[in-house]
Every structure is written in C-alpha cells, then in structure tokens.
A = this chain, B = another copy of it.
Amino acid sequence: MAVTIKDVARAAGVSASSVCRALAHPGQVRPETRERVERAVRELDYLPNRVARSLITGRTANIGVVLPDLANPFFPTVVKAIQTQARRFDYAVFLSDTDEDADLEVPLIRAMTPQVDGFLLCSPRAGDEELRSFAGERPIVVLNRRVTPFPSVTADGAGGMRQATAHLHALGHRRVAYVAGPRASWSHRQRLRGLRAAVSSYDMELIEIGSAAPTVEGGIAAADPVVASAATAVLAYNDLIAMGLLNRFRARGVAVPERISVVGFDDILLAGLVSPALTTVAIAKEQIGRAGVDLLLDLMSGRPAAARRVLPTQLIVRGSTGPRSSIRPSPSLA
C-alpha cells in the first residue's frame, strides 16, 4: 500500500494537518516541526497523492491533449514539445487520439474533464458549436485552428501557401494542382484560402483535387487525378500526402521535378530524406506546443490571455520542385 499523509504524521509524531502545512506552507510551522516532518517524509518516501489533493484544490496538475492522429508525424512532434514544456511547470499530460473521428472528440473531452485542469485541442475536427459548449467548463487552448472564444496558436498557413506559390511561379509553373486535406480541417480551409488568393494574384490556374485522407495512402490515391489534371506542379495539404504522391509518381514513371513539381506542408521529420527531398512549408511545431502550454498556463492561473498567436511559416526548398517543363508534358494531356 502507498504511504499516506497519516503514516507520515504518525512517524513524525504530529498531526496530518501539520504534515500538510510543513510541506505546502513551510513558513507556518516551527522549524523543528518542519524538520521532523521532512525526515519522516524522506524515511517513508512519501509522495502526496495528487488525486486526493485535486478534490480539494480543484487542481489536478494534468493537462489534456486531444489530437486526431498520432500516426501523422506532425503530432508527435507537437506533443513532445507540449510534454516538455508542461513538465517544466510540473504538469502531466493526458493524451487522447480520436483517429480522425470528429464524433469522438466531444465525449472524450467530457470524460477527461474531471482529471485535467485544461485542454490543448490539436487540430480538432468537431464543429465550432460543439467545441464552444465547453467554453464555461475548463480552460481550453486550440492549436492549429481558430474557434471563438478560445485562445489559439496557429501557423500562418496562408503565408506559407503564398511563399510556395511564389516559388512555383518563379519556376515558370502556371497550372498547379492542390490535393485537399480533410474537409473538417481548419488548417486545410485556411491553406486553401491562402492558396486561392496567391494563385489568382499571379494569374495562375488552380485545380483542386478532391479531399484526401491526410496520409500517405491519401496521397497515393490522389496521384493519378493529379497527373490527369495536366498540372505541372502540385501542392499537397501536408507532407504525408506529398510523400504518397512522390511514391505513386515514381511507380508510374512520372519524373519529379522534371515532369511535375511537388510541394508539401509541415516539414515533418523525414521530409528531407525522401528522394527527391521534399520541398515543403515548415511549421514551427515545437513552438506551437510550447506556446500552447504557455497560453493554457496563463488561462488556468486566471490571467486573461485571450490571445491568438500566429506563428510564421517558412518555405523549405529541396529537390522536389524545379523549373517547368524540363520535359514536355506527355502528349495525352491537353
């Protein structure tokens, strides 16, 4: 059985109240008492039970993290940053993966509520209204999405798309395709908006290819429509889709970047290691996690912090993009 405050009290010859005070408010007890308690704590290897404490103080020292898919390398990086920053302030992390199922989000959040002091919702898929229903309950910070009235941390997706479009335009591309991400994804909508604006400002043509699962498989499935579209460059909602495209292009003998240029988004760990290395828009994933924790801590300690942090994105040019038509498009295409 675990050591409780009573065991310490008995060992130190004082009451439980004094043990508690000695640990939580050392100034309120006599030095001698404090020493006896400290000795007993050391001897018994006592660690206060956070669960019991949380019933009184209402503070669990846990934060809940909800995200759509841990298999997408984007999220582990964010979670790791969250972990690291949370630990610095003595918070532990409760994790829930919804497997891209929007309907699972609300019940999961509800179930976690009593065990956490606040939530970091990473790229939540549930509707705005559903999320808003939690507004009164616990502090919530939303990552990679904006939902009034919650503070949020997002990346400048539109800016990233602008950079990518400028890059492709400079390489001579005039007809580009976009492989869309999940419709429920705010990031997707934001990126698409930015892309449309950039494309039209350059007077380029944009072909939007269905909604793909944000996975390698989604990219593989989208590859053939992309080729059929006769675009000379393709932007993917994220790196996994882009890698799926690369994979299918290679299998079909569609040369990258000679026949078609490919741009990803996120700059996940292995984006630079595929071949050709993936040109992509980098997001400061660690910063998102860190900033999210910071905002949440502000919120939980009552500071206002109704902020919206937008982090810059940065185009990383690698081998998967090149000048248009080093090779002529295949004749079968208009």
Interfacial residues, chain A to chain B (CB-CB below 8 A):
2, 47, 49-52, 54-55, 60, 62, 69-71, 73, 75-77, 79-80, 83-84, 92-97, 99, 110-115, 137, 216, 243, 246-247, 250, 269-270, 272-276
**A270-B243, A274-B275 are contacts. A94–B97 as well, Cβ < 8 Å?**
no
Give the copy number.
2
Whole-angstrom distance between the alpha carbons of A232 and B262 in the complex?
A: 34
**A49-B114, A270-B243 are contacts. A71–B62 as well, Cβ < 8 Å?**
no
Whole-angstrom distance between the alpha carbons of A110 and B96 in the complex?
A: 22
Name the B residues within 8 Å of A49 (CB-CB).
114
Whole-angstrom distance between the alpha carbons of A96 and B75 in the complex?
A: 15
* B54 and A83 contacting across the interface, CB-CB below 8 Å: no
Chain B residue with Cβ nearest A45: B110
Name the B residues within 8 Å of A76 (CB-CB).
70-71, 73, 75-76
Name the one of B69, B247, B269 contacting A273, with C-beta atoms under 8 angstroms: B247
* A111 and B47 contacting across the interface, CB-CB below 8 Å: yes
Name the B residues within 8 Å of A274 (CB-CB).
270, 273-275
Whole-angstrom distance between the alpha carbons of A273 and B245 in the complex?
A: 10
* A50 and B273 contacting across the interface, CB-CB below 8 Å: no
Name the B residues within 8 Å of A60 (CB-CB).
51
**A80-B70, A270-B270, A273-B246 are contacts. A2–B92 as well, Cβ < 8 Å?**
no
* A110 and B47 contacting across the interface, CB-CB below 8 Å: yes
* A83 and B97 contacting across the interface, CB-CB below 8 Å: yes
* A114 and B2 contacting across the interface, CB-CB below 8 Å: yes
* B83 and A70 contacting across the interface, CB-CB below 8 Å: yes
Whole-angstrom distance between the alpha carbons of A83 and B270 in the complex?
A: 24
Chain B residue with Cβ nearest A275: B275
Whole-angstrom distance between the alpha carbons of A93 and B98 in the complex?
A: 12
**A73-B73, A274-B270 are contacts. A51–B47 as well, Cβ < 8 Å?**
no
Name the B residues within 8 Å of A110 (CB-CB).
47
Name the B residues within 8 Å of A79 (CB-CB).
70, 95, 97
**A71-B80, A273-B243 are contacts. A51–B97 as well, Cβ < 8 Å?**
no
User: Could you tell me the distance in whole angstroms from the C-beta of A275 to the nearest C-beta in chain B?
Assistant: 3
Name the B residues within 8 Å of A270 (CB-CB).
73, 216, 243, 270, 273-274
User: Could you tell me the distance in whole angstroms from the C-beta of A253 to the nearest C-beta in chain B?
Assistant: 14
